[in-house]
A and B are shown apart, each in its own frame.
Chain A
Amino acid sequence: MNIIRPIAATIIGLFLGLLVTYFAGENPLNVFLIFTTSGFGSAYDIGMTLTYSMPLILTGLSVSMAFKSGLFNIGAEGQLTMGALAAASVGALFTSIPPFIAPIFAGICAILAGGIWGGIAGYLKAKRGAHEVITTIMLNFVAAGIASYVTVYLLKDPNTQNPQTIPISPNYKLESFAFFDSAPVSSALFLSIIVAILVWIFLYRTPLGYEIRAVGSNESAASTACISISKTQILNMFIAGSLAGLVGVGEVLSRSECFKLDFSPGYGFTGIAVAFLARGNPIAIIFSGLLFGVLQKGASDLEIFTHNVTSDLSLVLQALIILAVSADGLWEKFISAKKVKL
């Protein structure tokens, strides 16, 4: 049952989404083919699909990590902004750090920046009772404001009109693999998969992970078992934030080599879809992240190959998939109706 529902939801989402393209005068089958095949056409295409998947896997992990302790992280967008900004600032300012150490240093800064951004929401929830949904949404805007200030006034790249920061020093750059042509696939990409596995081990094989899940499944029972709710919530939001912050490593150190304002097409929000489709399972998130990566890649090709359908279709699909997965009542009705028939 656990695996049927997400798969059925994806199919429903795809079907309804493609039905919409019919009304735009496109052949849904054609759109479907572009969507599903453009991610694998060449080594470069595969590389781009993987590049799109990495941030989605990480933000998906971030959302589901928070959810394990019963918290909602709508703030992955702000956390990844802070992470990427930290990595880019460090890469532009501390140019004398030797290679090998430099990317690790930038990565730690990204983790800390994202973690602190998530941790603020965790602290306010645990100590002041502020609802984390509200605070994380608001922190997204605060992060966007700070990022905009830093990019426009402090670290503006003087050689371009685009709002982006000074390029990072070559010491920080992660080499792309030759196999994927010129797609920016570097060791950073595999980071997300390794992190997903680490998150699984952390949640299901360590005492701390157990405490987080205990708080999520029954707060009062956990508190009776001497688990500090507030400590767990703060720590949990810190980890969730740092997972989103890691997006900055792939984006800054291997893809754009600087912080670009508005580089994220809503990775943080897509992360909610990724996490829900995988029903919070870190290993399943790798696959749902890859699926959304394929959709994102396919969507970017739609603008070239069709007249009326644009990359926004991937947003429609995302929304439909979230709706289909989340509708508990709908599934109950469907399943109970089936039982009656039998």
Chain B
Amino acid sequence: MDWINLAISISGATIRMSAPLIFAALGGLFSERSGIINIALEGKMLAGAFAAAAVTTLTQNPYLGLLAGGLAGMLMSILYGVFVINFKANQIVVGTAITILATGTVPFFSQILFQNTGSTPEIPIGSRFIYTPIMIAWALVILIWCLFKFTPYGMWHKFAGEHPDALQTSGVDVIRTRWSGVLVSGFLAGLGGATLSICLSSGYTRNMTAGRGYMALAALIVGGWKPITAALACLAFGFFDALGITLQGFQMPKPDFTIDLFNQIWNFFVSAQFIQIIPYILTIVVVAGFVGKSRPPKALGQPYLRNR
């Protein structure tokens, strides 16, 4: 085996696989920083992935596709915002419902537009992205870091999530700040889905996000709700993703039950299955405070009641 080629291909794959995670994690960052839990990322990404592929197929213009992906994510966010901000419904319950809704409605639109519930037609190589969304993703990491570090807009978001009462007292509307966080979050998550369907692959396939929304949420937590560390966590998770996919090609020796337990366990730890669950185990380890400390915004998950 050519190890150098393998290393190059895995690092290339790592950078590509981490791009959708970065978008979604940055999206999650926006809403979670302003106090709204975002376990609906998966659904928003799925909607974005489909809308992007559909619009790109119909117009052959990936830029329009990317925009459509963002808007689709934003549309899911509007629904989410109405329920969690205005109706003060439980954020976790609604988040789950939004993901279920996206999983159920996307095949439906796919059937109406393309007479196929599974996937959109293949997008020819000329009308899909090769690098652009990946570069946008990293540019956004820097931009959003600056936004939270230097601008009042970023500061409002921090306060909406840490101490909403203080923000309201200083004359900034908490509800409006949270709304803007949720909307931006949906747009970014939609871009993440779009990256998946029109940059990393040649169209939408059924349930193509495959848990990446949750992985982005995990990266956000491991990264301590900060843009740069979250992006680095995405990069690490993208690496495990890439490594797992590469390892799937290897055939492991088939164990039979006369082999000792030690070999079985060893085989598990070098299997693609194990590599792919490392990010999730790592997240559990981090939230449980075994390694490092990751502190969520104080008012995360609490509905804000005006005129209390």
Contacts and interface: CB of A to CB of B under 8 A. Distances in A.
Interface stretch (A125-133, A171-179, A245-253): A125-133
Given A135-B287, A141-B214, A145-B276, A276 B108 contact: no
20 contacts: A128-B289, A128-B290, A131-B296, A135-B284, A144-B277, A145-B280, A146-B277, A148-B273, A149-B274, A153-B254, A273-B97, A310-B108, A312-B103, A312-B104, A315-B103, A316-B101, A316-B105, A318-B100, A322-B96, A326-B90
A154 interface: yes
A9 B308 CA distance: 29
Given A124-B288, A319-B101, A312 B107 contact: yes
Interface class of chain B by DSSP: helix
A20 to B, nearest CB: 7
B287 A269 contact: no
Contact of A314 (B87, B94, B104, B105): B104
Nearest to A327: B87
Contacts of A72: 92
A269 B218 CA distance: 19
Given A24-B111, A130-B289, A315-B103, A329 B89 contact: yes
Q: Which of A139, A145, A313 has the most CB of B within 10 A?
A: A145
B87 A138 contact: no
8 closest A-B pairs by beta carbon, nearest first, are A315-B104, A329-B87, A319-B101, A145-B277, A316-B104, A322-B97, A128-B288, A327-B87
A57 interface: no
Contacts of A11: none
Given A313-B108, A322-B100, A124 B92 contact: no
B89 A328 contact: yes
Interface of A: 20, 23-24, 72, 74, 124, 128-131, 133-135, 137-139, 141-142, 144-146, 148-149, 152-154, 156, 266, 269, 272-273, 276, 308-310, 312-320, 322-323, 326-330
Interface class of chain A by DSSP: helix
A316 B117 CA distance: 14
B284 A310 contact: no
A276 B86 CA distance: 20
Given A74-B96, A329-B88, 13 more contacts: A131-B287, A131-B296, A137-B39, A139-B280, A139-B284, A145-B273, A153-B254, A309-B108, A310-B117, A320-B101, A322-B97, A323-B97, A330-B89
A312 to B, nearest CB: 4
A300 B298 CA distance: 44
